[in-house]
Structure 1
Amino acid sequence: MRKLLVLFAIMALLLVSTVAMAEKTYLPGEELPDGAVEVEHWELVDNEWVNHRAGDVTSLARCWRSGPASGNCNKENWVINFTHHASMAQWSEWSIGGTRWDWRILKPGTYAADCIEFTLKSNNDVLIDYDGFADLAYLGEGGVKTTIDTYYSFGEDIEGAVENGWVRADDLNDDDDMIYDSAALHAGMSTKLFNMIVVENCNSSCEYEDTGTITLTLQNVKVWVDGRAGTWRDPQILPPTQG
């Protein structure tokens, strides 16, 4: 998991604008009107309309109707107010080429590798928080120097990684980074992560390792979405509040 953390961190460094952005207000959605009744709907899949009954939690969308009205008199004109509302949830898709790196080292030296690619898609801002980044630590007893200096960068090749600059592992822990909503984020942003280790004569033979955690947080989770399960809240219509 150590490498997964770093990858997201470097994605943040790559994608977050350095220009200060005004604080954004997110609309959390609203509860359904009183008396709302769910109706069946259809979803177009491979040019075929697929029917979904009311209450089908496998649906990607659901629809309710409310506000029935009627009239009966001899007036000339009737004005019927109509509202068509849609609440779009925030979604995310991500993929990573690996969540672990393993070095095997014969002699001291400075070494770098990429081998991990990462892609992130979403339709609104995503906050990235990471914790536990550090130099690789000696797992045995004793030892002379008990850490291996560890750095990270990103780029399409080693020249790009060098140009973008190497970031010391523990320097990533103090930052929370936002990947802001954009057409590029909707389409999917990708990068390659590089790691660099500096192995010295004073590093005793042993196993060295670091682990950590990262949290991706969607910024516009709707009130009708179960934020833990990532699907429909149950129930969709809340019971009346007791007075």
Structure 2
Amino acid sequence: MLKKTLLLVALFSLVAFSQQWQERPSWYWNGESWISQFGNPLARARKWIEYNPIADSCNKERWEIPFLDTISVAQWIRWSIEGTKNLWRVRKIGDFCGIGPIMCLKSNEDVVMSFEGFENPTNGETEIEKWFYFTDTTVYEPDVNWQWISASDLNNYTIRFDFPNGCQPQAIKIWERIIVEQCDRACEYVDPDGATIVLTLTVIKDWIDPETGEYNL
């Protein structure tokens, strides 16, 4: 019953929007030519007017017609990561750390980074402990005072990227640490189910489909 009610509400909202607002042709300048955006769910921008014709006539000198211009800007993100697979080749036992990939982000609002499914690499019987740490890109060597984050604890860890002044790009360096013990067997160790880095936008407009990023009208 609840699903039917929500569906009806969404349907009525869509009908009300289509009756009240009328989409008008719009174009995007790509530096060389104007590209039509009309009716395209993947358009960079689209334009509507509230279709409510008014008219009048008289002989008076001054007419005042109220006019309102509104621009609703969605949050966007541009990101890159140097790689999504890490490989250690360990010849001797020991405590090691190394620099992993650098991730770069740029957005017009804050972005939250979280982590899912991180575990110690295993050969199916035993594990090799693994930790993580994060710095900016100006750090080139590890510090003895770092508080390393275990693979399992990383799943409860978040990093917030603030973009208060425009959208200056930010970058983060991912460090890894492993400890290989004397009795660790000579074989391959992998994170059994893989893991995921999640980037979450903090401002989602109601006219954006959060799953696809397309128009949701």
TM range, normalised to the smaller chain? Answer: 0.7 to 0.9
**Cα distance, 1:180 vs structure 2:** 2.9
1:87-131, CA deviations, whole angstroms, 9 ceiling, x for partnerless residues?
101111111111111112122012222141111111112233322
- Residue of structure 2 in register with 1:19 after alignment: none
**Cα distance, 1:163 vs structure 2:** 5.6
Q: Distance in 2 between matches of 1:195 and 1:137?
A: 16
Distance 1:149 1:56, change over 3 A: closer
- Residue of structure 2 in register with 1:54 after alignment: 38
Structure 1: any 5+ residue segments left out of the alignment? 1-30, 237-243
**Cα distance, 1:73 vs structure 2:** 2.2
- Residue of structure 1 in register with 2:160 after alignment: 178
Q: How do residues 193-232 of structure 1 correspond to structure 2 at under 5 angstroms? A: 193-210=174-191, 211-232=194-215
Please say if 1:187 is aligned against 2:168: yes
Q: Distance in 1 between matches of 2:160 and 2:60?
A: 57
Structure 2: any 5+ residue segments left out of the alignment? 1-15
Secondary structure class of the residue paired with 2:187: coil
Q: Distance in 2 between matches of 1:226 and 1:152?
A: 33
**Mapped contact 1:119–1:188 kept (Cα < 8 A):** yes
Query: % of aligned pairs identical?
Result: 33
Aligned length in residues? 197
**Mapped contact 1:39–1:53 kept (Cα < 8 A):** no
Q: So what's the TM-score if we normalise by structure 2?
A: 0.78
Distance 1:161 1:45, change over 3 A: farther
- Residue of structure 2 in register with 1:77 after alignment: 62
Q: Distance in 1 between matches of 2:67 and 2:18?
A: 13
Q: So what's the TM-score if we normalise by structure 1?
A: 0.70
Question: What amino acid maps onto 2:178 in structure 1?
Answer: I
**Mapped contact 2:27–2:38 kept (Cα < 8 A):** no
Q: Distance in 1 between matches of 2:98 and 2:37?
A: 52
1:4-48, CA deviations, whole angstroms, 9 ceiling, x for partnerless residues?
xxxxxxxxxxxxxxxxxxxxxxxxxxx8585322222232322x4
Q: Distance in 2 between matches of 1:220 and 1:191?
A: 22
- Residue of structure 2 in register with 1:151 after alignment: 131
**Mapped contact 1:154–1:164 kept (Cα < 8 A):** no
**Mapped contact 2:132–2:174 kept (Cα < 8 A):** yes
1:153-172, CA deviations, whole angstroms, 9 ceiling, x for partnerless residues?
23444425556543222222
Q: Distance in 1 between matches of 2:172 and 2:143?
A: 11
Q: Distance in 2 between matches of 1:174 and 1:58?
A: 34
Distance 1:162 1:60, change over 3 A: farther
Secondary structure class of the residue paired with 1:170: helix
- Residue of structure 2 in register with 1:15 after alignment: none
Secondary structure class of the residue paired with 2:73: coil
RMSD: 2.5
- Residue of structure 1 in register with 2:109 after alignment: 124
Distance 1:114 1:84, change over 3 A: same
- Residue of structure 2 in register with 1:23 after alignment: none
**Mapped contact 1:42–1:49 kept (Cα < 8 A):** no
Moved more, 124-133 or 175-184: 175-184
Q: Distance in 2 between matches of 1:207 and 1:117?
A: 25
